[in-house]
């Protein structure tokens, strides 16, 4: 029963909202599950592995949305410990991003418009990774833009 529920969850349509794991969690807030390989997996890592692909050695699966128990593959991206720390700082309550004066100043308003246009109106022909490569930023950064976590008020 539990296994079937998990497998259903992983057959996700493309969702914009967080999909929060409601089962067991570890001390850091990540979901934990005993998978069919007999090992305990962090649910976000398992979601990434099954929905997106291999996780290279020594690589973390990070949350663009900042929610440790979110398993929406569209919110997950690969990164290292440095990025992880940056993410944590960014997602602290005090963080308020707006416009070109933030850490996203690598992008211009016109880039943000283009990214949103690609993602929302041209029907996702490019993946977030491809968009990220295209604009020279992280996948998490693209995710935050397309989900209006940053650069609010900039419309295509």
For the CB of residue 38, give the shortest distance to Zn ion in the complex, in Å: 28
Mask of contacts with Zn ion, 18-37, x by CB under 5 A?
x-------------------
65 touching Zn ion, by CB under 5 A: yes
Interface with Zn ion (CB under 5 A), residue from 33, 61, 68, 70: 70
139 touching Zn ion, by CB under 5 A: no
For the CB of residue 133, give the shortest distance to Zn ion in the complex, in Å: 22
Interface with Zn ion (CB under 5 A), residue from 44, 49, 75, 90: 75
Separation CA 60–CA 16 (nearest Å): 22
Radius of gyration over alpha carbons of the chain, in Å? 16
What separation, in Å, do the N-terminal and C-terminal C-alpha atoms of the chain show? Answer: 44
For Zn ion, which is the closer residue by CB, 61 or 131? 61
| Site stretch for Zn ion (CB under 5 A), options 15-23, 24-32, 106-114, 121-129 | 15-23
For the CB of residue 13, give the shortest distance to Zn ion in the complex, in Å: 15
146 touching Zn ion, by CB under 5 A: no
Coil, strand or helix at 79: strand
Strand-pair partners of 77 = 62
CB 3 within 8 A of CB 43: no
CB proximity list for 155: less than 8 A, separation 6 or greater: 113, 116
What burial class does residue 141 get, using C-beta atoms within 10 Å of its C-beta: 0-12 exposed, 13-18 middle, 19+ buried? buried
Task: Give contact residues for Zn ion (rule: CB under 5 A).
Answer: 18, 65, 67, 70, 72, 75
């Amino acid at each position: 029963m539990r296994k079937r529920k998990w497998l259903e969850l992983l057959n996700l349509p493309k969702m914009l909202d967080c999909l929060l794991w409601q089962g067991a969690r570890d001390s850091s807030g990540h979901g934990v599950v005993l998978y069919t390989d007999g090992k305990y997996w962090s649910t976000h890592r398992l979601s990434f592995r099954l929905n997106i692909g291999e996780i290279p050695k020594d690589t973390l699966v990070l949350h663009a949305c900042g929610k440790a128990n979110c398993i929406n593959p569209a919110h997950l991206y690969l990164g290292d410990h440095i990025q992880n720390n940056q993410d944590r700082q960014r997602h602290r309550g005090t963080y308020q991003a707006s416009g070109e004066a933030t850490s996203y100043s690598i992008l211009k308003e016109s880039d943000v418009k283009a990214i949103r246009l690609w993602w929302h109106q041209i029907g996702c022909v490019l993946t977030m990774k491809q968009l990220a490569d295209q604009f020279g930023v992280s996948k998490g950064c693209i995710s935050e833009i397309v989900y209006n976590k940053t650069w609010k008020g900039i419309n295509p």
